[in-house]
Amino acid sequence: MFIELTEILRCPRDHAESYLVAAPITMDGRRIVRGVVGCPECQAEFPIVDGVAYFGAPGEARGPAAGASAPPAPGYDASGLAAFLNLDGPGGYAALVGRAARFGEEMVALIPGVHFVAVNPPAGVVPGAMLSVLVSPRGLPFKSSHLRAVALGADCAAPPWLAEAVRVLLPGLRLVAEDERASSQGLTELARGAGLLVGEKRPG
Ligand SMILES: [Zn+2]
């Protein structure tokens, strides 16, 4: 996990939004390979193992439960997703949640200077210099209004992930959900169809 990512993380437990503190044990450049992220509010400690930060209880399932009811992934590729996310210029963070994280490495190559965060990715997605990997079963462990873009895979284009994605997005910026039936609550709808919902977070 990229160490500076800590600045936009919040404790996923049920209390007021609180910052987290990183305690690295092993670093690789700016990446924490092994360590702990701690919450000063509730004293929770979340381990980082092999570069992956785990925000669930030990043994808790990896995340999205939509599973069997999820539609097949839409027929677009990483450059299609990059176009929909509309990230203009370097800097900041964007999240790829569930199956959308399959595009992690390609997004890093297509959109230089933006740090991508794969949350609950499919098997085979590994952390890199510009790609952090988090496992968080109950929601997105980011502070509200801090991300430049969020893509939700078909396996998590449902509660609580949609509302969480809108919460963490900066107003006016884009959400892509890989399910054209997804709710656009909190969003200005820009496109719906071909297996996708594309929206922009409404201000306020
Ligand atoms: Zn906490």
pLDDT by residue for the chain (204 residues), tens only, comes to: 999 999 999 999 999 988 999 999 999 999 999 999 999 999 999 999 999 999 987 777 665 554 546 677 788 999 999 999 999 899 999 999 999 999 999 999 999 999 999 999 999 999 999 999 999 999 999 999 999 999 999 999 988 999 999 999 999 999 999 999 999 999 999 999 999 999 999 997
Cα 142 to ligand 1 centroid, rounded to whole Å: 12
Cα 42 to ligand 1 centroid, rounded to whole Å: 4
- The alpha-helical segments, DSSP class H, found in the chain are 78-85, 104-110, 161-168
Q: How far apart are CA 172 and CA 81, in angstroms?
A: 17
- Given this model, what pLDDT does residue 155 score? 93
Q: How far apart are CA 201 and CA 204, in angstroms?
A: 9
Q: Which two three-digit tokens encode residue 94?
A: 């964007």
Mention every residue, 6+ apart, whose C-beta is less than 8 A from residue 186. Answer: 163, 166, 201, 202
CATH code: domain 53-201 is 3.40.50.150
Sorted by where each begins, the domain ranges of the chain are 53-201
Is the whole model's pTM more than 0.85, yes or no?
Answer: yes
**Residue 17: C-alpha distances to residues 20, 39, 112, 168, 174 (Å):** 10, 10, 30, 12, 23
Q: For 36, phi and psi rounded to 5 degrees?
A: -140, 145
Cα 176 to ligand 1 centroid, rounded to whole Å: 29
Closest CA to 165 of 147, 192, 182: 147
Cα 20 to ligand 1 centroid, rounded to whole Å: 8
Q: How far apart are CA 71 and CA 179, in angstroms?
A: 7
Cα 19 to ligand 1 centroid, rounded to whole Å: 8
Q: Is the peptide bond before 71 cis (omega within 30 degrees of 0)?
A: no
Cα 60 to ligand 1 centroid, rounded to whole Å: 17
Three-class DSSP category at 110: helix
Q: How far apart are CA 104 and CA 125, in angstroms?
A: 7
Cα 57 to ligand 1 centroid, rounded to whole Å: 13
Cα 34 to ligand 1 centroid, rounded to whole Å: 20
Cα 153 to ligand 1 centroid, rounded to whole Å: 27
Cα 92 to ligand 1 centroid, rounded to whole Å: 24
Cα 49 to ligand 1 centroid, rounded to whole Å: 20
